[in-house]
Structures are given as C-alpha cells and as structure tokens.
Amino acid sequence: MKNGHVFFEILAVFVMILFLSGPAALATNDKESLSDPKAIPLPDLEKDPGFLFLMAENSEAAGDHEAVMKYLRQALALDPTSAYLNTRVGTLLARNRKIADALIIARTATLFDPENDAAYTLLGKIYTVTNDRARATDAYSRALELKPDDRDLYVFLGSLQASQDLLGDAEKTFLKMIKQFPEEREGYFYLGKVYVEDKQYDKAIELFNQILDKRSETAPQAHLELGSVYILQKKYTEAEEHFREAIKLDPFNISARFNLGQVLATQKNFTESYQVFEELAKLAPSNLGIQIKMALILAEQKEYDKAKEMLDKILQNKPGWDQVRFHLGRLLKEQGKPDEAEKEFVQIRKGQPTFVNSRILLSLMFLRSKELGKAIRYIDETIDPETKDTDLLQIKGSILEELYRFDEALKIYEKALEIDPKDSKIRYSFGNVLEKSGRRTRSMEQMEKILEEKPDDAGALNFIGYTLVSSGKDIDRGEKLIRKALELKPEDGYILDSIGWVLHKKGMNDEALQYLEKAIQKIKLDPIICEHLGDVLLLKNRKEDAAESYRKSLGVNPDNILVKEKLQKLEKELSSQESNR
C-alpha cells in the first residue's frame, strides 16, 4: 500500500470532520434521498483498512496499546502487501520486545516496497538490538540512501561503524553529515569522537575548535571534549584550561567540574581537587561517586582515617557496592593492614565488577609478603581452563616461580605465549624461569627472540649481557649489551648490578663498587646484588661490610651454599683477627 500513510491522513481528516459534524453533515434538502436508504450507500468500515488505521491512531493517542495492535493487524489482514502497515506493526512488535516477529514483518515490508526508508530503519534498529551489527549497518546504509536528510540515520550508521572499528567508514559517514548540515554541530562532534577513537587527536582538536568558532550554545560541550582529548595526550594544563572554560560558560556543568577535579588530582594538586569535588557534592548531593573521589584524594594525602570514615559511611547506605569495598580494601592495604584489607576484599563476590581486581591485589599482596599459599589460592579464583587473560596467567606464573614449582610455571607461561606470542614481558618471565631451572640455552633463545622483536628491550639486553659475562663466553658483547641497557634505564638496580659485575670481572673494583652501592640503594634486599657487593667489598679489604652484605643475601635466600661458605670463611678470619688483637 504505497503512500498509504498519505491516504490514511486524508481519510482521517475526512472521517474526523464527519464525526465532529454529526448527523447535520448528512443534512440535505433532498428529502427523497433521505427517505431512501439506497440513495446513500454507507461503506462497511470494518473492512476498510484506512478506517482501521485511524482507529489504531486514536487508540495510540489514548494509550491503549492492545487496541492499537488489534486494529493494525486487522488493517494488515485486509491489505497484507502494505509496506507502511507492515512497518507500523513491526515497530509496535519491536516496542513490545517481540523481536523475532518484528524482524519477519520488517523484512516483509522491504520486499513489498524496496524504497521504504522507514522499513530499513526499523530493520537497522532490530539488528542493533540483536547485536547483528553487520546487518544493522547494511540496513541503515540503505535507509540513508533513500533518505539522505535524516540526521538520526547518520548518527545510527556512523556510531555502528565506529563500534565495529570501521573508523574509516564512520569518518566518511560523518563527513557526509557535515556536508549535508554544514551549519549544525552534531556532525562535527561525532566526527571528532571518531578521530579521538582513531587516536587522530590533532584532527579531533581542530573539529572541536571549529564548534567553538561558531560561538554556539554548545561551546561548553566543545570545551569539555577538548579537555578530554588533552587528557589523552597527557597535556594536563591545557585540559584544565578547557574544563575551567566550560564551567565559566555553564556553572552547573557536572561533567566539567568532575573532570577538572580529576585532572587536578592527576597533577597532584590534591587540595584544589578536593575543593572542586566538595563544591560538586553540593550541586549533586546524591552522587556517591563524587564522595568516593573525595575519599581517594584524602587517601592520596595520607589522611587514611578520614578517607576510611567516608567510605564506611557510603557502605552503610549501600553495603553491596563492591566498588566502594574495593577502594576500602586498597586503602587498608596502603596503610599496611593486610588482614583488614583481606577482610574487605573477600566480601567482593564472583561476578561483581571488581572481583577480579580484588583477587589480583590479594595475590600480589601475599606474594610480596611471601604468603604464597594465599597468593596462589586467590589468583586461582580468577582463572578457569578457558581464560585468555595473560595478566592473570603471568601473576600465577610468578607465584609458582616463587614456590620453586618451575615446571608448572613454564606451562603457565607457555599457555600465555600461545594467547599472545608478542608479549615480551611474558617471554622474559618464561626465559627467566628456564634459566632458574637450569635450561640456560633455551632461556637465551627466548631472550634473543625478544631482541629480534624489540632491540631496545632493556630487560632482555641486561639478561643476555649478564649471562654472557657470568659464563665468560663473550664478555665484550655482554658488556656492550649491558651498557646499552644502562643507557635506556640508568636508574635500574639490576642493570647497575650487571655493569658493576662486568667491571669487577675486568678487575676495575673501585668503579664496580660505585655501581654496586648504587644498585643496593635501589634494591635493598636482592640476594645476588648483596652477594656481588660482598665480593667486591672483600677485595677492597672491607671485611666487616662484606660479611654484613653476605648476611643480608642469606637473609633472603638462606639456601645459597656458596654464600654460606663465603660468610663462614670470612667470619673465621674476622674471629681470628679479633683473637690476635
């Protein structure tokens, strides 16, 4: 029933006039015609799709949705090829969440009328709901071809394309929107967001500035978007300026104030940040997220008691809010209260948004305190046989490594590398465990693979260099690699130890001592660094200091037989010297 809606509108007006006019509308001077019922043939309205459509419209205005569907179905039964009626029925079915029925009838509408833009728009919406984004994109594209002046269609299509990472297609869609509506700001905003998603920040900034140049009422939003882009670029001063401008133009702009508070906190300006959130809390007293931010700022300022009091108060109102409990657990962890932190974290149940992060923090907390049983129990709560999260696998591998369960750790790292072969951190851990388990050749192969992919990986450079120097195989190459690593990370304690060890091997103990003393300042209780420092101190005839360094090494790794022997021998010498005094 092409153009049926036009016909129905005309019919609706006619019938409404007839209805409002009442019997008088039928008045006539022709008495004979009135007396003869055959003179005016009345239509059978129950068989007129136009009348039924009008009844559906009246029912919709009255809010009687069941009647709407009844009349439209009756109309459709009388005119089943009407694309317009099919689309209207499909829309109602979709609104009532009868998606499968709506899909069938919407597709039927496009078959009856391939030029019906409304039917394709409905199809696009249905496919979006069913998460069939490719078909939704095709449907909206066709609708837009038929109706290029529909702003919503550009937004629907461009957003869908962007959500599928079809950023080039989304860019084209919003460029067409700008061309179609050059004086309106929507196209600029959406295209700017596409550029942000594509990390084309300069183009995004240019577009948002164009909105500012128009001096429109949307200027506060443009400042807000610009501030967000500058945050992504880590240009916090510029971001702060735009958030402040947004607030000047719109003092009640909650988002601008919130982002200003955030960016001030990022710049460690905690006092002013807290003031911003405090003012914001007055504007939005029911927004508990603002109060969480205030608590976190207090925690950053080491005002733990005040922060805890604020979080506890929020939990009294919303005891099941896992995000608040997560922050409370983190706060207690920072205070050095692991038992209390654990009590908070374990109340976060599986399925809650912060569950995985809570278990990661628990695992890392107990890994550092060497409570390895708890560490592995909590990380195991997050891992199932089908997990694809390499971060979780790496944490578990690290715990197994600390437990000297090297074969299990290697299996975990191998699984992680199957998921992401280019993850250099996991490959480094894999190579490190191979070395610890006596598979030095294989460990060197893994480190060389890292350097093939990332020639400036300081960890791999240092590992290979130190191994070559320690084994005496290629001291020159080893020193070269370690010095390159030192250029990349001049403050890394492990690399400082390596260069110190190289110099010691070359007999340059004065220079070696400088690097080793600096290394021990960076990493105070590493058993190998303590041993190296002890060896050089001993050669410098600083026997008491050397003995103390060996004791520190054994305090961390009491099973090191070589260090035990060195310390026992040195202690005998010191004891003998003391006796001879």
Burial class (CB in 10 A: 0-12, 13-18, 19+), 520: buried
Which token pair is 18?
């007839």
pLDDT at position 27 is: 40
pLDDT at position 216 is: 67
Which token pair is 475?
């001291």
Which token pair is 409?
């750790």
pLDDT at position 368 is: 85
| Cα–Cα dist 532/520, whole Å | 10
pLDDT at position 226 is: 95
Residues of the chain with pLDDT under 50: 1-44
pLDDT at position 205 is: 94
pLDDT at position 65 is: 73
pLDDT at position 515 is: 93
Report the SS3 class of residue 206.
helix
Query: What number of other Cβ atoms are within 10 A of residue 174's Cβ?
Result: 28
pLDDT at position 214 is: 57
pLDDT at position 9 is: 39
Domains of the chain in start order, with CATH, are: 524-581 (1.25.40)
pLDDT at position 215 is: 62
| Cα–Cα dist 579/581, whole Å | 6
What does the radius of gyration of the chain's CA atoms come to, in whole angstroms?
37
CB 78 within 8 Å of CB 30: no
| Cα–Cα dist 46/60, whole Å | 18
pLDDT at position 47 is: 62
| Cα–Cα dist 475/504, whole Å | 12
Give the residue ranges of DSSP H helices in 79-198: 83-95, 99-112, 117-129, 133-146, 151-163, 167-180, 186-197
CB 550 within 8 Å of CB 574: no
Best CA proximity match to 352, nearest among 386, 318, 385:
318
| Cα–Cα dist 299/291, whole Å | 12
Helices H, strands E: what count in the chain?
33, 0
pLDDT at position 150 is: 92
pLDDT in tens, 511-533: 999 999 999 998 888 899 999 98
